[in-house]
Amino acid sequence: MDLLLIGPPGVGKGTQAARLRQALGIPHLSTGDLLRRHVAQGTRLGTAAAAHMRRGDLVPDHLVTEMALDRILDVSCAAGVVLDGFPRTLTQAEALDSALAGEGRRLAAVLHLTAPGQTLLRRLTGRRICGGCGNGYHLDTRKPRTPGQCDSCGHRLVQRGDDATETARVRLRAHTRQTQPLLARYRRAGVLHEIDGCGDVGDITRRLLAAFAAHATGPAPL
């Protein structure tokens, strides 16, 4: 029961993937989170990825693919996984397909979250993260009780380096350039389902779950 949540930066993939994880009872894999962990720990992979992430560019395929497949093929994901942020290129998609096929698995659905560019930019530039526990906030839509401070652990809230306006614009352009061919591939295969990523978070989750249920019982996608 592998499910891919795809869409531009800031569209709500992380927010929704966490909710799908709970609803479906399968793990959530975010390559962005994994990469940030590697950067924070100063691993070889993190060191190689950091400059690309700072600029808002995609990290090279060979670095991301090995990291992601290691996790996807781990026993903890044997019953399936909600993929958030992987694959983002055709090369990554081909590697994923053959790895899943080797395990007798396949993508059950590809759900494409969409929102207008101005909404994405506002969501990215207004996002704040707790430096202690990692909880997410937003200056407009998810304010902490005390400005600048986490409701749960009291740590200071920080802005992700790549959420600064100019870098966010670079990320949005990188998405259009490198991920659009991937969308075309899934569209041709008849497995892509477009989901409106605007509005109430709970409503969006319900749209995603309805689309997933419809696709997961349909014909084999790839």
Site map for ligand AP5, 163-202, x if CB under 6 A? --------x-----------------------------x-
Which of 122, 128, 171, 207 is catalytic? The answer is 171
Q: Which residue's CB comes closest to ligand AP5?
A: 32
Q: How long a stretch of residues is the chain?
A: 222
Number of other residues whose CB lies within 10 A of the CB of residue 121:
17
| Closest by CA position to 92, among listed 79, 103, 107 | 107
13 as an active site residue: the answer is: yes
The least distance separating ligand AP5 from the CB of residue 92, rounded to whole angstroms, comes to 6
Q: Are 3 and 212 in contact (CB under 8 A)?
A: yes
- Binding ligand AP5 (rule: CB under 6 A), the pick from 20, 24, 64, 67 is 64
Listed ranges 19-27, 134-142, 145-153, 212-220: which one lies at the site for ligand AP5 (CB under 6 A):
134-142
| Residues 30, 53: Cα–Cα separation, whole Å | 14
Assigned token pair, 89:
């290129």
Cα–Cα separations (whole angstroms), residue 23 to 20, 114, 165: 5, 21, 33
By the rule CB under 6 A, 3 interacts with ligand AP5: no
37 as an active site residue: the answer is: no
Beta strand 127-130 pairing with 157-158: antiparallel
Interacting residues with ligand AP5 between 6 and 45 (CB under 6 A)? 9-15, 30-32, 35
By the rule CB under 6 A, 58 interacts with ligand AP5: yes
128 as an active site residue: the answer is: no
**Three-class DSSP category at 118:** helix
Contacting residues for 134 by C-beta, under 8 A, at least 6 apart: none
* Residue 71 phi, psi (nearest 5): -75, -45
By the rule CB under 6 A, 59 interacts with ligand AP5: yes
As annotated, the active-site residues are 13, 88, 127, 160, 171
Residues engaged in binding ligand AP5 (CB under 6 A)? 9-15, 30-32, 35, 52-53, 56-59, 64, 85-88, 92, 123-124, 127, 136, 138, 141-142, 162, 171, 201, 204
